[in-house]
Amino acid sequence: MMSVWARRLIVAAIVLAIGALLHEIRWEEVEVVDEAHGKAATDPYYSLRHVLQGAGATFESRTSLEPLPPAGATLLLESDLWNIFPEREARLRAWVEAGGHLVLRSPHSYGGDAELHWVPLTSVEPRRRAKPDAPAASAASAASADDDADDDEQDAPSGHEPGRAGEPGRRLSPRQVEQQRQRAERIARIIGKATRHDCALFTETDATTQPAYEPGRALRGCTPAGTLRPLDHVVPTWMLKSASGTLAMRVPVGRGDVTGVAPWLPTGNRQLLEGDNALITAAVLQARPGRAVWIVEEESREPLLGWLWHEARTPFLLALAAVALSLWRLMARFGPREAVPPQARRSMGEQLRGTGQFIAGTDAAALHAATRKAFEDAARPRVEAWAERDDADRIAGLAQSLGPSHSVDAAALLAALHIGIGATRAQILAATAVLEQARRAILRASAARSNS
């Protein structure tokens, strides 16, 4: 049996081995991406749809501005080709001025937004942010909010407070500004090291007349921010800023408003799950019970074949039938298309008739000349002194020699002999027929005289 000391040595060796193993092990956290599955894998707005439904709003994704959203709805314009038709810009402006809410990404910075000259907003490209500490970032955000408040006070006309046209503005007192800064710093301390380097604290400035949430609330947005500025001395009614810039700014246009987002609004499934991006997006889109939210993506149309089937089905089917018949006629065949005529030698009459038809179809004047020569050869023996007479005298003598039983129309025969050079093919063939009839009448009269 094993002694006690041997057992102790074995236990000690096992303990040392486990200790050495634990000493060499390094525990590190690795972020594993959880792939989307179910409806989220096929619907890029799955998260946004649920966020808006939770706020009581409805959501629709469109690929065209035809038709426009209902009055009082929110339109997020993501397409750069929305203005391919010239009348759309005027219709969109009328819709906003009637009470619509338009959301634009980087106004006047993209080609698709360059035509919106009536939108009093402008933006520049976002700046690259350094990695600030959380308390410093929150303090800078509050300081930036104070500076922007001072700028708004300077830009606003005298005697007018920031706010929507016709509505009183909401101005924060110095004590409220200090409370807002303290709340932001307290939130930053709670977040601590968990704050990502691409996230920042966004707060509503004192230019806000209708805050989305309670006053002084700081939102942790994991999205870049740019620079947005109002134009034409328009006072914004809502702003969302951080130390790195302005993420969103809303200005009144008629009875509606336009919200600019620089450079973009987080609407993807994963983007909305980061920080407070869902709350920021809901605030920008003004999600509230009963509001309709539309997103217009890249412009697209029905495929050509589908459009032809729905709009011109009958001509389309006829064209397909014609193509099918043409292909059927070109297919390989096992025999001739019609019965082959039996091989036989042509008679002299068929040969002459075929030759005459060919000449009549190619050169009617040559056929007329040949028929006239044949007529003159047949009439010459029946008229004395043929060479000394003119055509009218020859025809008169020919009519006397033929007699009443084989008479010819002298006027028509004279006209057939003197058919003009400018005559048509039909006129030449008619004159040729008159000459041929006269020749056959001469031959019949000669045959009757010989028999008698």
**pLDDT range class, residue 336, cuts 50, 70, 90:** confident
Q: Does one domain contain both 109 and 227? A: yes
Question: Looking at the predicted structure, is the pLDDT value of residue 188 above 70?
Answer: no
Q: What is the pLDDT of residue 324?
A: 94
Q: Is residue 203 part of a domain?
A: yes
- Domains: count for the chain: 2
Residue 131: pLDDT over 70: no
Q: Are residues 76 and 161 in the same domain?
A: yes
Examine residue 13 and state whether it is found in any structural domain, yes or no: no
Residues 227 and 90 in one domain: yes
Residue 326 lies in a domain: no
Digit-coded pLDDT (tens) for 281-317: 999 999 999 999 999 987 777 788 888 888 888 998 9
The percent of residues above 90 in pLDDT, for the chain, comes to 18
* CA pair distance 119, 116, nearest whole angstrom: 6
* Length of the chain counted residue by residue: 452
pLDDT, tens digit, 9 for 90 and up, residues 381-404: 888 888 888 888 888 888 878 777
> What does the mean pLDDT of the chain come to?
78
For residue 289, the model assigns a pLDDT of 92
Do 274 and 388 fall into the same domain?
no
Q: Do 277 and 412 have their domain in common?
A: no
* Structural domain harbouring 55: 38-296
Return the bridge partners of 258, or none. 102, 251
Quick check: is 15 in a domain? no
C-alpha dist (Å) from residue 27 to 22, 23, 192, 194, 377: 10, 11, 21, 18, 127
Q: How far apart are CA 76 and CA 50, in angstroms?
A: 17
Comparing 174 with 48, the larger pLDDT belongs to 48
What is the token pair recorded at 110? Answer: 């993209």
